């Protein structure tokens, strides 16, 4: 598929990557799904600018949910 690569600053062939990643918050590892693009021209990886998918925000939400009881 074609997408604008912020590194190349032009429309290039990119690969849509869907995977998951461990994000560590205060020593607790949280597995969150991540989506991004990889430019096949330069190999650079970048987020979909149209998506507001934020793995860090998801990880924080998970962290708060698992620590919902008791004070922080
Ligand atoms: Zn590129």
What protein residues have CB closer than 5 angstroms to ion ligand 1? 5, 7-8, 39, 41-42, 44
Q: How far is the CA of 52 from the centre of ligand 1 (A)?
A: 21
CATH of the domain at 34: 3.10.20
Q: Which of 28, 25, 2 is nearest to 15 (CA)?
A: 2
Q: For residue 9, how far is its CA from the centre of ligand 1 (angstroms)?
A: 7
Instruction: Report the alpha-carbon distance of residue 25 to residue 49 in Å, rounded.
Output: 25
Residue 71 lies in a domain: no
- Nearest CA-CA partner of 31 in 1, 55, 67: 55
Give the chain's mean pLDDT.
89
Determine the structural domain holding residue 46 and report its residue range.
2-66
> How many domains does one find in the chain?
1
pLDDT, tens digit, 9 for 90 and up, residues 19-54: 999 999 999 999 999 989 999 999 999 987 677 778
Does residue 72 lie in a domain region?
A: no
Residue with tokens 């924080």: 60
Would you say the pTM of this structure is higher than 0.75?
no
């Amino acid at each position: 598929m074609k997408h604008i690569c912020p590194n190349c600053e032009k429309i290039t062939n990119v690969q849509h990557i869907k995977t998951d990643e461990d994000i560590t918050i205060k020593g607790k590892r949280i597995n969150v799904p991540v989506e991004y693009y990889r430019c096949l021209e330069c190999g650079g990886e970048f987020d979909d600018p149209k998506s507001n998918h934020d793995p860090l925000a998801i990880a924080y939400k998970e962290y708060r949910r698992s620590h919902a009881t008791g004070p922080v």
